[in-house]
Structure 1
Amino acid sequence: MPLGIIQNLTRPLEIPLRVRVCSSYWERLRGLMFHPRLAPYEGILLVEPEEGRFQAAIHMLFMRFDIAVVWINRAGRVVDVRHARPWKGIYMPQQPASYILEIHPIHLSHFRVSDEVEITIL
């Protein structure tokens, strides 16, 4: 599974986020399910083949911890940011998205709608 670096160009992060890039159906389906914890500067980036609201929906079944979810469109703009809680069902972005960034909740205030995000796949 490739790694990626996420940087918010609108409000730069002190330490860019390192993420695992999940682009296959099975990688996206599994996401962070069954993981014991998430380190503060790690996460995953789910890459959807098509931009949309329904396609970018996530579920929180079998999750053990809260996450911050940042939905990003193909243009690299944040379209929604949410605090997702374990076992609280499905979360869907307000606008179509191609990328779903799942990170530690300490980053909720580091991303806002319309921020420009740089995604680098290593």
Structure 2
Amino acid sequence: MRLALVQNLTRPLEDSLRVRLCLSYWERLRGLMFQPRLAPFDGILLAEPREGRLEAAIHMLFMRFDIAVIWINRAHRVVDVRHAHPWALIYVPQRPASYILETHPSHLSYFRVNDVIEITLL
């Protein structure tokens, strides 16, 4: 399992988010499905091979809890932020994205469009 630290350089968090990095098609497809819960400083970072709106779309099928979704472009700027609910069919970002950060909903207020994000591979 590959891990990464995610930090908002524009609005620094008290602690970086430690997330699982999802690079393969199957890792991205599974995402957080079937997990019973999500701890406050956990999550996943989906890395898409191509930047785009449809490429960065997510679904919430088979999810048991709400999540904060933060879409990030290649330049590591936030392009959209949403509160996603279980069983929603699709969420598409407002602008093209390469990364999708899925984390605890308590982090929604820490991310805004145009924030600069630092991703450190562990």
What TM-score range do you get, normalising by the shorter chain? Answer: over 0.9
Give the residue type in structure 2 aligned to 1:66: D
Given the two structures, how large is their TM-score scaled by the length of structure 1?
0.99
CA distances 1:39-79 after superposition (whole Å, capped 9, x unpaired): 00000000000000000000000000000000000000000
* 1:16 corresponding residue in structure 2: 16
What letter is aligned with 2:57? A
1:87 matches 2:87:
yes
Residue in structure 2 matched with residue 101 of structure 1 by the alignment: 101
Aligned residues: 122
- Pairwise CA distance, 1:88: 1.5
The unaligned stretches of length 5 or more in structure 2 are: none
Paired residue type of 1:51 = E
% identity of equivalent residues:
76
TM (norm. structure 2) is: 0.99
Q: In structure 1, what is the Cα distance between the partners aligned to 2:5 and 2:21? A: 9
Alpha-carbon distance in structure 2 between the residues aligned to 1:4 and 1:30: 18
Q: Which amino acid aligns with 2:71?
A: W
Q: Matched residues in 2 for 1:121 and 1:50: separation?
A: 19
Runs (4+) off by over 4 Å? none
The letter for the 2-side match of 1:40 is P
| CA RMSD in angstroms, aligned pairs only | 0.4
Q: Which amino acid aligns with 1:52?
A: G
**CA distance in 1: counterparts of 2:15 and 2:57, whole angstroms:** 27
1:14 is aligned with what amino acid?
Answer: E
| Greater fraction strand | 1
Post-superposition CA distance 1:8-65 (Å, at most 9, x none): 0000000110000000000000000000000000000000000000000000000000
Structure 1 gaps of 5+ residues are: none
3-state DSSP of counterpart to 2:49: strand
Distance 1:54 1:95 in 2: 10
